[in-house]
Amino acid sequence: MTDFMETSVPVPCTNSQIPVDLFVSKKHPGLPSGELGFVDSSGNPVYKVTRQSLTSSSNKRVLLDAAGNPRFALCRNDKGCWQGYKGGDAGEKDLVFRVKRTKSKLTRTELEIFLVGENSADSTCDFKVKGFPYQRSCTIYIGNDIVAQTSLMYKLNQLFPKRGKFRLTIFPGSVDHALVAALIVIFLD
């Protein structure tokens, strides 16, 4: 059994016209128990998420690429909002995005994502995530355009699909795949 991040092909942000499928699970070979992993259709690791508890009320997760380099540090504050930082450190100068949960019912969750940059004073969200965490089903939007979707892995003659592994489809465009993976991690929390 090889280490989870030992052999892999990174998925770059491209303007390809072909959607990219990643498979998300906590049970990939070589992945420590309880950590979320993203693999491509060939089973090669693309991303993994490590969990670091800072205090009892604050959690930090780090999204690592296939080579083990930190792409985003994801930090949840006391109010349940998230912030995403470039790299593995949560420094204010490296803040990339903020996430606000706008709807959180038992079955439905909606998030608004605000990118930090030159128009950080703008109060309109850049991305929206809508879906059902229990069913591992969500859609990420920019305006009315779908950026990515998740879905359970249905099989013939299977009445109830297993929730342990699901598909993430990232549609063609110029969105960083690591950002999409980070938003999925936040959505599932």
Q: Which domains does the chain have, with CATH numbers?
A: 20-188 (2.40.160.200)
Instruction: Specify the pLDDT at position 82.
Output: 94
Instruction: Tokens 């969750």: give the residue.
Output: 109
Instruction: Specify the pLDDT at position 169.
Output: 94
Tokens of 51: 């969990």
Instruction: Specify the pLDDT at position 111.
Output: 95
Task: Give the chain's residues under pLDDT 70.
Answer: 1-16, 53-58, 90-92, 118-123, 154-163
- Biggest CA pair distance of the chain: 52
Query: Is the full-model pTM beyond 0.85?
Result: no
Tokens of 119: 């128009």
| CA dihedral sign, ordered 18, 23, 28, 32 | positive
Instruction: Specify the pLDDT at position 176.
Output: 92
Instruction: Specify the pLDDT at position 11.
Output: 47
Tokens of 10: 């990174």
Residues 5-17: tens digit of each pLDDT: 444 444 455 556 8
Long-range contacts of 11-19 (CB under 8 A, 24+ apart): 11/40, 11/46, 11/177, 12/177, 13/174, 13/175, 13/176, 13/177, 13/178, 15/172, 15/173, 15/174, 16/172, 17/172, 18/172, 19/169, 19/170, 19/171, 19/172
Residue 148 CB contacts under 8 Å (≥ 6 apart), including other chains: 139, 140, 168, 169, 170, 171, 175, 180, 184
Instruction: Specify the pLDDT at position 43.
Output: 87
Q: What is the per-residue DSSP string for 60-77?
A: EEEEEETTS-EEEEEEE-
Instruction: Specify the pLDDT at position 10.
Output: 45
